[in-house]
Amino acid sequence: MTEVVLSTDRTLISNHHGKEFLGFGATGAPVLLPRGVWMYLFAPRMKVDSEGRPWQAPYGMRKIEAALQNAGYDAQIIDPDHLEKHLENAKVLLISHHDYFGFGPPSSTFASIFKMKTVNALSFEEFMEKPEIRAAKKRGLKIIAGGPAAWQWSYREEERKRWGVDTVVEGEGERIVVELVEKALRGEKLPEWVTMPPKEAPLLREIPTIKAPSVNGMVEIMRGCPRGCKFCSVTLRPLRFIPYKNIEKEILVNVRGGVKDGIFQSEDVPLYGAKGVIPNAEKVLKLMRLGKKHYRKLVWSHASIAALVKGERDDKLITRCAEILLDENQSWWGAEIGVETGSPRLAEKIMPAKAKPFDTKEWPSLVVEAAGIMEDTHLTPAMTLITGLPEETEDDIIKTLELVDELWDFKAIIMPMFFVPMGLLKDRDWFKAYKLSEAHVELLKRCLTHGIRQGKRILKDYFDDRWWGTLMIPFYWTFISAIERAARHYGYLSYPQGKEDTEKTPFKSIGESVKIGLHRIRPGAH
Ligand code: SF4
C-alpha cells in the first residue's frame, strides 16, 4: 500500500463528461436543482482501476505525483471514493484544488449573488470531513495542501487547524514537494506555510513529465505570462516554453491511456515561442500540427485578445490554426479569454499590457475585432469580465455593458466575475456582506440573458463529437431552460435596446432537443 496518497474532492477528480468547460458548472450555487443533479451534470464520477486510481486526474496533481515517483516514492493519486483502504497505511495525504473555499472567480460571484456556498466549496468540505480522513489523521497522517488555490487557506485558519492541515504550499510545488514529503515520512515537524517565490520556480529541466492521463488530455505548453495584469498572480511567474518533445511525451501518455482528445494549457496559447507579445506563427502552427498528429480533437485553455488580433493581422495565424484543427473529427474549438472590461480608462489602470502590442485606448474595438476572427474560425470562447475593482467607476461599468451589447450576437459565454476585497473573506459568511451596485446588477442580468441565448446555440454543437453526447443535450437544455424560466419570473432578463425578447432559441421545446439528438446519432444523419 502506498505511503503517499494524493487526492481531492469530486469536483476536480472528474472529466466533466469529457467537456472541460462543464467543470465550471461546479462553481455555481446549488439552486433550482438538487445538488446531486449539479454534481451529475458538471462533475460525474471518474472511472477507476482495481486500486481506486482514477483514469484521468487533474494535470497539476499528475505533475506532483510524477515528481514524487521520480524521487522513488510510491505516490499515487486515489479517487475520493476509494480512499479508505489506502489511508489505513498512508503517512502523507497531499491535497490540491483550484478553489478550496469558493473564493475564486467565478464561485465568489455566484456565492455573492445567491448568498450561499457554491457546489465546489461544499464538495471540498465534505471531502475533508470524510471519516476515513478523520480516522487517518488521528493515527498521525500528515496533510499537505497546495495547488492554485493554496492562498485561500490564509482566510480559513480555523478550518486548517480543525482538519489538521499540517502545511500549505503556495506557488509552483515541484521543487519543494519531495523535501516536504521526506520530512513528513521521517516524522519531523512540517512548516505551517511554505511560499515558493517566482525566482524559485522550477526550471524547464525540473518540470517532470506526467506518467498517467490528465483530465481531458490536458498538456501544458508554457508557464507564466508576460502581460503583468494587476489582479493576476500568474504574471509574477517566469515565462517558460515547454519543448515540443516533452509536450509530445505527455500527449502520448494520454493517448496510450485511452484519452483521445486534448487541451493545450497555457495562459496564452498563441504566444507559444513568442518574443515578448508578438506571436511566432511558425512555432504555433508546428505546435498545432503536433497536437493534431495524436489527438482527435484539440482545444486551447486560454488565449489573449491581443495575440489573436496580432497573429491574424500579421500571419493569418488563427485562420491557419483553424485549418489544422478543424476536420472530420472537430467542427469548432474553445478557449477561455480575458476581456475583463469595456473601459479603456480602467484597462489602462488594471491591465496596462493586456492590449500590447496595440494601444490600450483601442481595447473595446480589439475585443470586437477578435470576436469577428473567432466567429470566422469557429473558435467559441468563454470570455471573462472582472468588475467591482476599487478603481472602477459607474462609467466603466456602462462601457462594459456597451461592449457586451456589441457582442450580443457573438457565439460565446460572457462570464462576469466580481472582485471580492480580500479582507471580506475573513468573515465566515462573507458572501452575505457583499454588495452589488445597480450597474453591477444590470451587467449581471445582461450577461445572464446573453448566456442563456448563446448557451442554447452552443449546446447544439457542444456534444457533436460523440454519438452518446447528443443524448446529453436534453439534460443541459432543461438546465438552461430552468435558469431562463427563473430569470424571467424574477425579472432578471435584460436586453440591449432594440434587441428585446423576440429571438428564436435553437430549440422550442425539450421534444425538439431530443429529436435533434436522435437525428444526430442515426447513421448518415449528417
Ligand atoms: S493576460 Fe491573463 S494570465 Fe496574463 S497577467 Fe493578465 S490576467 Fe494574468
Write out the DSSP string of 303-345.
E-HHHHHHHHHHH-HHHHHHHHH-BTTBS-EEEEEEEE-S-HH
Output the residue whose Cα is nearest ligand 1's atom 6: 229
Helix 107-114 vs helix 119-128: crossing angle, to nearest 10: 100
Kindly report the pTM of this predicted structure: 0.91
Q: At 497, is the secondary structure helix, strand, or coil?
A: coil
Query: Measured from the CB, is residue 338 less than 6 Å from ligand 1?
Result: yes
The CA 377 to ligand 1 mean position distance, Å, reads: 23
Contact (CB, 8 A) for 18 and 466: yes
Query: From the CB of 384, is ligand 1 less than 6 Å away?
Result: no
- What ranges in 335-435 are assigned the alpha helix state H? 344-350, 363-377, 394-406, 430-433
Q: What is the DSSP letter of 239?
A: P
Give the per-residue pLDDT at 521.
Answer: 40
Give every CB contact of residue 268 below 8 A, 6+ residues apart in sequence.
222, 225, 227, 302, 303, 304, 307
| Dist. CA 86–CA 51, nearest whole Å | 9
C-alpha cell at 318: 488563427
User: Given the DSSP bridges, would you call strands 167-170 and 142-146 parallel, antiparallel or unpaired?
Assistant: parallel
Gap between the Cα atoms of 57 and 73, Å rounded: 18
Q: Which atom of ligand 1 is nearest to the CA of 226?
A: 4
DSSP 46: P
Give the position, in ligand 1's atom list, of the atom nearest the Cα of 267.
Answer: 3
d(CA 428, CA 406): 39
Q: Is 152 in the pocket of ligand 1 (CB under 6 A)?
A: no
Pocket test for ligand 1, best of 229, 271, 349 (most atoms within 8 A of CB): 229
Rounded to an integer, what distance in angstroms lies between the CA atom of residue 96 and that of residue 145?
Answer: 6
> What pLDDT is attached to residue 518?
45
Is residue 436 lining ligand 1, measured as CB closer than 6 Å? no
Taking the centre of ligand 1 as the mean of its atom positions, its distance from the CA of residue 253, in whole angstroms, is 29
CB 175 within 8 A of CB 147: no
The atom of ligand 1 lying closest to the CA of 225 is 4
Q: According to the model, what pLDDT value does residue 272 have? A: 97
CA distance linking residue 246 with residue 418, whole number of Å: 37
Alpha-carbon span 332 to 461, nearest angstrom: 8
From residue 382, how far is each of 54, 102, 373 by CA, in Å? 28, 19, 15
Between the CA of residue 148 and those of 60, 120, 152, 379, what are the distances in Å?
9, 15, 9, 27
Binding site membership of 304 for ligand 1 (Cβ less than 6 Å) = yes
353 lines ligand 1 (CB under 6 A): no
Which grid coordinates belong to 338?
A: 480575458
Assigned C-alpha cell, 46: 471518474
Q: Is the dihedral of CA 424, 430, 433, 438 positive or negative?
A: positive
CA dihedral (117, 119, 121, 125) positive or negative: positive
For the domain 213-363, what is the CATH code?
A: 3.30.750.210
| pLDDT tens for each residue of the chain, 526 residues long | 689 999 999 999 999 999 888 888 899 888 888 999 999 999 999 999 999 999 999 999 999 999 999 999 999 999 999 999 999 999 999 999 999 999 988 888 888 888 889 999 999 999 999 999 999 999 999 999 999 999 999 999 999 999 999 999 999 999 999 999 999 999 999 999 999 988 888 999 999 999 999 999 999 999 989 898 888 877 667 889 999 999 999 999 999 999 999 999 999 999 999 999 999 999 999 999 999 999 999 999 999 999 999 999 999 999 999 999 999 999 999 999 999 999 999 999 999 999 999 999 999 999 999 999 999 999 999 999 998 888 899 999 999 999 999 999 999 999 998 887 777 777 878 777 777 888 988 999 999 999 998 988 888 777 766 666 677 777 788 888 888 888 888 888 889 988 776 554 544 554 554 454 444 444 333 3
The domain ranges of the chain are: 4-200, 213-363, 388-526
Q: pLDDT tens digits, residue range 35-74?
A: 999 999 999 999 999 999 999 999 999 999 999 999 999 9
CA of 398 to the centre of ligand 1 (A): 23
Pocket test for ligand 1, best of 231, 234, 309, 358 (most atoms within 8 A of CB): 234
**What number does the ligand 1 atom closest to the CA of 228 have?**
5
Q: Is 340 in the pocket of ligand 1 (CB under 6 A)?
A: no
- Looking at residue 252, its pLDDT comes to 98
